[in-house]
Chain A
Amino acid sequence: MAHEELSASGEHIVSPKLYVVVFLFLLLMTGLTVFAASVDLGWANPVVALVIATLKATTVVLFFMHIKYSTSMTKMVIIGALFFLFLLLGLTLTDYLSRPWMAYPSH
């Protein structure tokens, strides 16, 4: 199966070989994140876990969900989603993390 093959409706066809490589990578990363959790890395434990999770999620989106081969409009939709997710989590955190800095009563 050639990498550049197109389906009858003009879609890029990913080779099963690549799917299996992606699958093995995802399993390896799962093993790695379980191992990393058994080591005391202090503040870096959540960071390592989230970096690995993001690597896995990106791999799934690019290959299993075909975003690597999709139109730029679909890519924009995903970038838009990440932007709004960042607004939700990021701006909420700026509020909660900065509360103790101020003289107002906080918990």
Chain B
Amino acid sequence: MQDSQAVVASELQHHFRDMEQQRETATFGMWVFLITEIMFFGGMFAAYLIYRLSYYQSWVDGSNRMDITLGATNTAVLICSSLTMAMAVHSAQLGRRKLIVVFLILTLLLGGVFLCIKGVEYHDHWLNHEVPGPTFSNLDQHGVSKGWVDTPHTSLYFALYFAMTGMHALHMIIGVGLLTWLIIAASKGKFTSRYFAPVENVGLYWHFVDIVWIYLFPLLYLISKKHSG
């Protein structure tokens, strides 16, 4: 390892001792950024928690309008995309340039599938007057009552639902953009087994967005399912 370091002088920035230190610094920096992301989403989770404790029945009424099949499918889609992302980083570690591109494209496609399914759900909520605002109503698209106990506070549930899943979806869209950039760079052969920090750090970002959904799915769709009484 020592003698090969001179060869890659162009990849190694002068302020780092060696490639290992450079890689660890980049990963460390990415984790510090992810902490700010954890605190950003943490604020919304705190709001969710407090209002769920305050307006429990509205949370039950709201979450019973969620489509668990679509939510679970999306969870599976994101887990698949995390696997393909992990495999893209793995291919980069081994310096398999074509495989990096293949796995990044698979990740991008799965991210797209997630966003499409989320779009179907949003459209359904829109049709059933479940988007907070002047059209919000306890009547569904056929004019049938949903039996909500407290419509204004169910609107609060949906406001948080759209804020949390919307911010998550925005992160997915940014992730799709980052993946597109990576795919272009990887197909130009920019990444080697010595230098692949962008692939690794976008990977960390992608897994983080997956983790946010891992918490959003049970909190918004599942935990009140059997508590409608």
The answer on A and B forming one complex is: yes
- What residues make up the interface of A, taking CB atoms closer than 8 Å to B? 7-11, 13-14, 16, 19-20, 22-23, 26-27, 30, 33-34, 36-41, 45-46, 49-50, 52-53, 56-57, 60-61, 63-65, 70-71, 73-74, 77-78, 80-81, 84-85, 88-89, 92-93, 96-97, 107
- The 5 A-B pairs of least Cβ separation, nearest first, read A10-B20, A49-B218, A37-B222, A7-B93, A40-B226
The answer to the question of B79 belonging to the interface, with a C-beta cut-off of 8 Å to chain A, is yes
In the complex, chain A residues whose CB is within 8 Å of the CB of B223: 37, 45-46, 49-50
Interface contact A88-B50, CB-CB below 8 Å:
no
In the complex, chain B residues whose CB is within 8 Å of the CB of A40: 226-227
Interface contact A9-B28, CB-CB below 8 Å:
no
Name 9 A/B residue pairs within 8 A (Cβ), A-sorted.
Answer: A8-B93, A10-B18, A20-B83, A41-B226, A52-B218, A57-B211, A60-B207, A61-B211, A85-B39
Interface contact A11-B214, CB-CB below 8 Å:
no
**How many Å lie between the Cα of A97 and that of B35 in the bound state?**
27
**How many Å lie between the Cα of A39 and that of B226 in the bound state?**
7
Q: Which residue of B lies closest to A97 (CB)?
A: B53
Interface contact A77-B226, CB-CB below 8 Å:
no
A9, chain B: closest CB distance, angstroms: 4
Give how many B residues have a beta carbon under 8 Å from the other chain's beta carbons.
61
Interface contact B45-A89, CB-CB below 8 Å:
yes
The answer to the question of B86 belonging to the interface, with a C-beta cut-off of 8 Å to chain A, is yes
The answer to the question of B23 belonging to the interface, with a C-beta cut-off of 8 Å to chain A, is yes
- A-facing residues in B19-35 (Cβ within 8 Å): 19-20, 22-24, 27-28, 31-32, 34-35
Q: Which residue of B lies closest to A51 (CB)?
A: B218
Partner of B207, one of A16, A34, A65, A88: A65
Segment of B68-76, B119-127, B133-141, B166-174 in the binding face: B68-76
In the complex, chain A residues whose CB is within 8 Å of the CB of B20: 9-11
With contacts A8-B192, A11-B93, A74-B31 known, what are 7 further pairs, Cβ within 8 A? A10-B19, A19-B86, A37-B68, A45-B224, A53-B217, A77-B32, A96-B54
**How many Å lie between the Cα of A20 and that of B219 in the bound state?**
26
Mark interface residues in B191-229 (1 if CB within 8 Å of A CB, else 0). 011111000000110011011001101110111111100
- What residues make up the interface of B, taking CB atoms closer than 8 Å to A? 1, 18-20, 22-24, 27-28, 31-32, 34-35, 38-39, 42-43, 45-46, 49-50, 53-54, 68, 72, 75-76, 79-80, 82-83, 85-87, 90, 93-95, 192-196, 203-204, 207-208, 210-211, 214-215, 217-219, 221-227
In the complex, chain B residues whose CB is within 8 Å of the CB of A49: 218-219, 222-223
Interface contact B39-A88, CB-CB below 8 Å:
yes
Interface contact B93-A65, CB-CB below 8 Å:
no
In the complex, chain B residues whose CB is within 8 Å of the CB of A61: 207, 211
Q: Which residue of A lies closest to B221 (CB)?
A: A37
B137, chain A: closest CB distance, angstroms: 25
Which among A34, A38, A41 has the highest number of chain B CB atoms within 10 Å? Answer: A34
**How many Å lie between the Cα of A30 and that of B53 in the bound state?**
25
In the complex, chain A residues whose CB is within 8 Å of the CB of B211: 56-57, 60-61
Given A53-B218, A60-B207, A60-B210, does the pair A88, B42 have CB atoms closer than 8 Å? yes
